């Protein structure tokens, strides 16, 4: 696509905005993550991290101590945003192969395995899971790239000033 002198949002901007808004719906206490699954610039599913529907609401049930944690410090009850988005699409028979998924946090290794297995073609993420966890490498991103999935860190649209400097 040719660059055009416009400030119209790209689809990447629109879908990442939506993922960011969805993250705010999460009932988990520590991390709030949103995901939008799209194909051919159409939304096929959305998700945010949290326990399966009808089970727990972490913030209401554990307001003082927080949700039970796994060995990596993540909520042990929650499905991740990517998992919720992909499961919903699969449950409803949507074609996920070749899709793009937008997530506000780069996928963990468990989600990366699912994304790869579902043949999702492209992952766009906002924040780095490795930076968030204070670990050396984004193992989910590394895994996806090694096996041919396109992974990009989201860069907000640039407003060019043309000041000549």
- Residues that are catalytic: 82
| Binding to Zn ion, residues 29-68 (CB under 5 A) | 58, 67
Least CB distance from residue 93 to Zn ion, whole Å?
23
Q: Does 144 bind Zn ion (CB under 5 A)?
A: no
Least CB distance from residue 134 to Zn ion, whole Å?
17
Contact residue for Zn ion among 16, 23, 28, 44 (CB under 5 A)? 28
What distance in Å separates the CA atoms of residue 23 and residue 35, rounded to the nearest whole number? 8
Two tokens, residue 19: 């993922």
Question: Nearest Cα to 42, choosing from 87, 84, 98?
Answer: 98
Least CB distance from residue 7 to Zn ion, whole Å?
34
Q: Select the span of 17-25, 26-34, 37-45, 154-162 touching Zn ion (CB under 5 A).
A: 26-34
Question: Nearest Cα to 101, choosing from 148, 52, 150?
Answer: 150
Q: Does 123 bind Zn ion (CB under 5 A)?
A: no
Q: Does 75 bind Zn ion (CB under 5 A)?
A: yes
Two tokens, residue 145: 């790239």
83 φ/ψ angles, rounded to the nearest 5 degrees: -65, -45
Least CB distance from residue 110 to Zn ion, whole Å?
5
97 φ/ψ angles, rounded to the nearest 5 degrees: -55, 130
Q: Select the span of 23-31, 38-46, 93-101, 147-155 touching Zn ion (CB under 5 A).
A: 23-31
Nearer to Zn ion, 66 or 156 (CB): 66
Q: Does 111 bind Zn ion (CB under 5 A)?
A: yes
Evaluate whether 57 touches 26 at the Cβ level (below 8 Å): no
Burial of 24 (0-12, 13-18, 19+ CB in 10 A): exposed
What distance in Å separates the CA atoms of residue 102 and residue 84, rounded to the nearest whole number? 13
Query: Which residues here bind Zn ion, judged by CB under 5 A?
Result: 28, 58, 67, 75, 78, 80, 108, 111
């Amino acid at each position: 696509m040719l660059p055009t002198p416009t400030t119209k949002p790209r689809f990447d901007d629109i879908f990442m905005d939506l993922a960011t808004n969805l993250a705010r719906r999460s009932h988990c206490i520590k991390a709030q993550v949103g995901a939008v699954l799209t194909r051919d610039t159409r939304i096929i599913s959305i998700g945010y991290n949290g326990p399966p529907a009808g089970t727990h609401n972490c913030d209401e049930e554990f307001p003082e101590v927080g949700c039970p944690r796994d060995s990596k410090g993540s909520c042990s009850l929650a499905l991740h945003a990517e998992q919720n988005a992909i499961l919903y699409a699969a449950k409803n028979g949507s074609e996920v192969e070749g899709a793009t998924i937008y997530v506000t946090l780069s996928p963990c290794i468990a989600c990366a395995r699912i994304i790869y297995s579902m043949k999702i073609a492209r992952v766009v993420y906002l924040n780095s899971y490795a930076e968030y966890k204070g670990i050396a490498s984004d193992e989910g991103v590394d895994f996806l790239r090694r096996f041919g999935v396109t992974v990009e860190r989201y860069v907000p649209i640039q407003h060019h000033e043309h000041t000549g400097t």
